[in-house]
Amino acid sequence: MTTYSDGLSQIRENIEWFLQSSKKDDTPTNKMGLSVDVKDIEEATALSGLSPTYLVGDRQTYRASKKDIPVEKPKEKPRGIMDRPPMSFLQKEKPSKEIIPQDFVEQQSLDNWVMAFQKNQTEPTATNEVQSSVFTDKILAKNEGVEASDVVTGIKTQSYGVVHSKGLNRKDFNTNKAFAAAVVQKHYEELDSKFTAGGHNLKEAPKSVQYAFLDLHYNNGNVGKDTVSLFDKNDMSKSLNNTLEFVGTKTSRGEKIALPSLASRRVRMYNDAAEELKKSKIYSVDMTTVKGGTNVEYRDVNDNLIHSFLNPRALANVSNRGVSTKRKSATWNRVTDKWTYQ
């Protein structure tokens, strides 16, 4: 055992030992302390597939081969109807604002488009537009007849009572009814314009009321100014009563007469409208010769007066023998639907 005479000698010896140790060969050794060449170890372990382990001094170093390092493969994008992986039901998706393309109709289903279209529509105004072909069948066939005729007044009419063709040519239509319906349409357009000018919507009225106005316009060539001015969509009685006053016509010789058959025609149209409007129907008509013309009265079933007026024309009776103005009175009732004369 070395004995030091002083502490300085001990320090010197320790320094020399440290310097000698630092000069040793740094060649790595195996666990048994044998010198091993690094290159030899790499070649040997490459054949075995193992990674070499080196002992450098007192420390162990690990060098991994490339095939030992796991390579993370990129995640493959899901295929199918889903364009992204399913989400956890606990995960909330941020709400997105729906953008409707301009070509909405082409990209949406027809049913969805119809519902969207209907939802955006405003409520249409109530309308009861008259169909001229229906009016021709339902009204003119009865009131005028379907055949051309020469009435005893001497005024010739075509089928369905056409007198003025309103600029239309019969040759342009396949049938008499089609021609008459086209003429009716012209009358209806004129009638509608007159009501519009008077500040009214004719098509808001029930069809039976429009029929009464249209039949008067077709038969008389016009409606009275009072027919339009008295019109009230909430109470059509006054305007309808006004149609009852148009019972006049004239002969081929220009003689003006009050004709009972026209009065019964007005009654038929009035009663159809009164039934729809829940008003009293006309049950009887009395036409009496008076000074200054013909007095006309319309009464209900209880003999209550519905409307009366004085027509300045002479009361006339029309038969196969011609026109007679020698009658004092003419009476009609709904039961017999016939006129009797005095």
Q: Which two tokens stand for residue 225?
A: 């100014």
**95's tokens:** 């709400």
DSSP per position, 56-110: ETTEEEE---GGGSPPPPPPPPP-SS-SSPPPPTTSPPPP------TTHHHHS-H
Mean pLDDT of 67-75: 59
Cα separation, 93 vs 83, in Å, equals: 15
The pLDDT, as a whole number, for residue 280 is: 96
Percent of all residues in the chain with a pLDDT value above 70, rounded to a whole number: 62
Do 266 and 216 meet the contact criterion of CB atoms below 8 Å apart?
A: yes
What does the CA dihedral 136, 140, 146, 147 come to, rounded to 10 degrees?
Answer: -130
Q: What is the pLDDT of residue 75?
A: 61
Per-domain boundaries in the chain: 7-63, 127-222, 244-342
90: pLDDT strictly greater than 80:
no
Q: Is the pLDDT of residue 55 over 70?
A: no
First to last CA, the chain: 177
Q: Choose the most confident range, by mean pLDDT, from 6-20, 32-46, 105-119, 207-221.
A: 207-221
- 209, with CB counted inside 10 A (0-12, 13-18, 19+), is buried
**Residues 217-240, mean pLDDT to the nearest whole number:** 93
pLDDT at 202 over 90: yes
Q: What is residue 131's three-state secondary structure?
A: coil
pLDDT of residue 61: 46
Choose among 260, 241, 233: nearest CA to 325.
Answer: 260
Inform me whether the pLDDT recorded for 30 exceeds 60.
Answer: no
Separation between Cα atoms, residue 105 and residue 88, nearest integer Å: 35
pLDDT class of 122 with cuts at 50, 70, 90: very low
Per-residue confidence band for 321, with pLDDT thresholds at 50, 70 and 90: confident
- For residue 193, pLDDT over 90 is answered with yes
Find out whether 221 and 246 touch, Cβ atoms under 8 Å: no
What is the rounded distance in angstroms from the CA atom of residue 317 to the CA atom of residue 260?
A: 7
Least confident of 46-60, 177-191, 300-314, 319-333: 46-60
* Residue 293 near residue 311 (C-beta atoms within 8 A): yes
Distance between CA atoms of 53 and 30, rounded to whole angstroms?
A: 9
268: burial class by Cβ within 10 Å (0-12, 13-18, 19+)? Answer: middle
Q: Does residue 341 carry a pLDDT above 50?
A: yes
Condensed to tens digits (0 to 9), the pLDDT of residues 139-182 reads 999 998 888 875 556 567 889 989 889 999 999 999 999 999 99
Q: Specify the higher pLDDT residue, 335 or 52.
A: 335
What's the mean per-residue pLDDT of the chain? 78
- Residue 81, pLDDT > 80, answer no
pLDDT of residue 6: 60
Mean pLDDT of 221-225: 90
Per-residue confidence at 224, pLDDT binned at 50, 70, 90?
confident
Query: Of 122-136, 241-255, 311-325, where does mean pLDDT reach its minimum?
Result: 122-136
